[in-house]
Structure 1
Amino acid sequence: MARPLRIEFPGAIYHVTARGNARQAIVCDDEDRAVFLVCLGEVVLRFGWVCHAYCLMDNHYHLLIETPEGNVSRGMRQLNGVVTQRLNRRHRRVGHLFQGRFKAILVEREPYLVELCRYVVLNPIRAGLVRQLERYSWSSYPATRGLVDGPGWFSPDWVLGQFGPRRAVAQRRYAEFVADGMGRPSPWSAVRGQTLLGSESFVDSMRPLLDEKQTLKEIPRGQRLLHRPSLTQLFPKGVRADKRVRDLTIRTACVDYGYSMATIANHAGIHYSTVSKIVKGER
């Protein structure tokens, strides 16, 4: 089956999911879960995302993110790469943590975003992990509900704004809205072509972008990369001194911009095998 085309533009909103390799667990304990959320926060801040909702399960996760800079692919590669790197190091293992690429569905804000925010945080109840969402610490529900202080990178303001201007009232109405979501039909029945969730007019407005992406795929790879940044631009002064930033930049150069691992190794002054391990998430 062909991969769905990824539509990216400033302000795009996505429901993003990623699953563990062979449906195995991504996280094994609360320390793993905390590591994941730290990585998520770093990526949200670095790429300027707005995170409207999230839920980390054992073998997959859900995100609802808004991308003011139109950079979901780059950010998600960073997220899954860093999570793999840190959890593999913690458990002294190598290899893939995630199953293939992440899945991203482009979402029309009205009326779908608030419904998806409810769907995402209800995952622990649907999976039978808890009976009360207040008891599940690894989703955005407790922070949106006002039960805990959320991390600085999490943004419940838009969601709560749908339930009124007074925060305490909005939080109570939000809780009622979420509780009313159990048993309701899944919003995914309206997804078009594995890519879009929105009205007919929204889907029609996205068709030119889909056509543009399809045309781009037909252009020879060498022509597509003519205007990519140079390695000198990608590796400014100071990048090599910070190993974590260096590793992320190496993955970006290889995965996003198509530089060969040998070329990157020569430019960065490190061994080819080191670059290979970084790109594969083994470091």
Structure 2
Amino acid sequence: MPNNPLGASRPTPPGTAAPAAGSDGQPLKQQTDIARAAALIADPSRARMLKCLADGRALPASALAGEAGVGAATASAHLAKLVGAGFVTVARQGRHRYYRLAGPDVGAALEALALIAPPLPLTSLKQSNRTKALYRSRSCYDHLAGQLGVGLMRSLLERGVLTGYDGIHRAEQAVRDRPASYGHDVRYRLTAAGREHLRELGVDADRLPPRRPAIRYCVDWSERRHHLAGGLGAVLTSRLFELGWVRRGAGPRVVHLTDSGAEGVERAFGLVLPHQ
């Protein structure tokens, strides 16, 4: 996670004064308004909307209203605040408006908050099953996390697709790495053999999303291991969806490994996971 996931690197929200300049004409470094960011997220309805968007998809206001359990007018007011703060972006398609998180920084910040937030009480079997599903496999913005994510990372290392470290988070040795954050302490690299292996799967490592690191890792908050992020993590995850090896669950961020996916990841990466 960037050092300031909710801070000054984001565009200045409407109605906010531009940064003051020093004698050299350069903008002065500003402290971040954590209280304002926290207040926006603190509303239960807005928090549920953000959690629903945390898998990187664009969703219509009606779907977000349903997830938050509020009416259309109330949802519109909440979304306007999130857009104004730069947490969410909106695009119009025909008569509908679609909302998505402004970027992976916001998703990473939500992951970090989930680490320190008290657990919601489980009041039904449905909630219990959804919690177990999140631990098993989930999306972390646009890449895979949970047992599936860290298992895939482990297999990539064992197969020599990636090199640089062993994928284990050791809290007592960590310098900057913390759970639910982008990692900084080690550097993974894609091997030449790994590049060819991924190409056989339909992943072209030479055509990754621009303006973002090709290979990053997150310290998984539930597994305390590394899962693959960055451009390569996003493209690989997208490919697994295209192949039908993973599918989205009914709850926000829940991802399921399909029967064909279980066979596929075992064949491609030697990864064997419990049946979902």
Shorter-chain TM-score category? under 0.3
- By percentage of residues, which structure has more helix? 1
Per the normalisation by structure 1, the TM-score is 0.24
Per the normalisation by structure 2, the TM-score is 0.25
